[in-house]
């Protein structure tokens, strides 16, 4: 049987997942005849399909069985793994049960373990650390990943809508300690509206349940509140925005990767050097105290990014002197 599958197993959070995107893009470039397939949570996989054009399979469709050994793996899992030429796995180790099961099913496949936890001695972004890990075992892939990381910083991935649907504010994150106070997001939205911008707040189901109806209504008094049903819907919302303001969160990484002007707020619980969102128009606001970070500073960063985006659009639209 011809081994054509390149599998990327990923079960981490959204920010970690976006960091892995250059790997998927690099595999598509280096191995164009192969099928590059994410094995990950269903919605994350669909987002990767939407943005990157790769394939995906829901990791919940029997792949947990690999942790119990090869014998108990269902046929769909065995078939996919057996057809792999190369397997990248985030969060597993060479000597664990999962790896033993994968090797039993696909002994000829190259199995490469990756982590997004940088060692203390590594100074730089986690995307660059991914390149360093791959370099020792697959130098051609590592070189392509490095090129894709550079492309991500220069222009982002995917295509942006010509229409720009206002400024999106995402006041949540995976951890409350990473959040700029909600009242500051209200102040920021109010200031943007007063400056002539339309404002929308993105709230997930977790934020809605945790913060309650009163907070929802407070945001709604300033702008439109949207709750995307899926991560693909979230990706479309972010991709159509004129600019996005987020905490250290998954949507910040998605927005930046899509090339959207993105302001990311990083407090003392966040590591901007390693985990700042990567994209061509990103401003990371770092502060030793989220509670003391004032609205004017963030507003200034948003205004600067919007001005730069507007100037760039005008330069593209302007006819050259040769026309």
Whole-angstrom distance, CA of residue 292 vs CA of residue 127: 30
pTM assigned to the model: 0.92
Q: Alpha carbon of 26 to those of 31, 57, 141, 144, 176: distances in Å?
A: 8, 19, 6, 5, 35
Mean pLDDT of 228-240: 95
Q: Please check the confidence at residue 321 and state whether its pLDDT lies above 50.
A: no
Residue pLDDT, tens place only, 141-153: 999 999 999 999 8
CA 280 to chain centre: 14
What percent of the chain has pLDDT above 70? Answer: 94
Mean pLDDT of 23-42: 96
Q: Enumerate the H helices of 156-271 as residue ranges.
A: 182-194, 205-220, 231-239, 250-257
What percent of the chain has pLDDT above 90? Answer: 84
Whole-angstrom distance, CA of residue 54 vs CA of residue 52: 6
Give all domains of the chain, ordered by start, each with its CATH number.
Answer: 5-155 (3.40.50), 167-317 (3.40.50.2000)
Mean pLDDT of 220-235: 95
Averaged pLDDT score across all residues of the chain = 92
Mean pLDDT of 194-221: 90
Residue pLDDT, tens place only, 307-320: 998 887 655 454 44
Per-residue pLDDT at 192:
97
Angle CA 131–134–139, to nearest 5: 95
Residue pLDDT, tens place only, 161-179: 555 779 999 999 989 999 9
Give the DSSP H or E segment for 282: strand 282-286
- Beta-ladder partners of 7: 37, 87
Q: Please check the confidence at residue 281 and state whether its pLDDT lies above 60.
A: yes
pLDDT band at 155 (very low <50, low <70, confident <90, very high): confident
Residue pLDDT, tens place only, 42-91: 999 999 999 999 999 999 999 999 999 999 999 999 999 999 999 999 99
Residue pLDDT, tens place only, 80-122: 999 999 999 999 999 999 999 999 999 999 999 999 999 989 9
Mean pLDDT of 280-303: 97
CA 25 to chain centre: 14
């Amino acid at each position: 049987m011809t081994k054509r599958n390149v599998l990327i197993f990923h079960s981490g959070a959204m920010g970690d997942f976006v960091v892995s995107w250059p790997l998927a893009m690099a595999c598509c470039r280096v191995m164009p005849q192969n099928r590059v397939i994410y094995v990950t949570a269903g919605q994350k996989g669909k987002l990767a399909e939407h943005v990157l054009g790769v394939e995906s399979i829901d990791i919940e469709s029997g792949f947990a069985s690999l942790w119990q050994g090869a014998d108990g793996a269902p046929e769909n899992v065995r078939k996919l793994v057996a057809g792999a030429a190369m397997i990248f796995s985030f969060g597993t180790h060479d000597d664990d049960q999962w790896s033993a099961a994968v090797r039993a099913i696909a002994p000829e496949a190259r199995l490469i373990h990756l982590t997004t936890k940088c060692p203390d001695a590594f100074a730089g972004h986690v995307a660059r650390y991914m390149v360093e890990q791959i370099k020792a075992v697959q130098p051609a892939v590592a070189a392509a990943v490095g090129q894709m990381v550079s492309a991500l910083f220069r222009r982002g991935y995917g295509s942006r809508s010509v229409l720009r649907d206002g400024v999106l504010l995402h006041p949540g994150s995976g951890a409350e300690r990473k959040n700029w106070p909600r009242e500051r997001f209200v102040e920021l939205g109010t200031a943007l509206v007063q400056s002539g911008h339309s404002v929308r707040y993105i709230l997930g189901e977790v934020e809605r349940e945790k913060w309650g109806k009163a907070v929802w209504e407070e945001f709604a008094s300033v702008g439109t509140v949207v709750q995307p049903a899926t991560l693909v819907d979230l990706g479309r919302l972010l991709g159509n925005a004129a600019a996005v303001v987020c905490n250290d969160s998954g949507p910040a990484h998605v927005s930046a990767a899509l090339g959207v002007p993105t302001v990311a707020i990083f407090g003392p619980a966040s590591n901007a050097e390693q985990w700042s969102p990567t994209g061509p128009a990103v401003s990371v606001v770092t502060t030793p105290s989220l509670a003391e970070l004032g609205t004017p500073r963030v507003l200034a960063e948003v205004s600067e990014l919007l001005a730069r985006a507007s100037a760039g659009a005008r330069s593209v639209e302007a006819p050259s002197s040769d026309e």
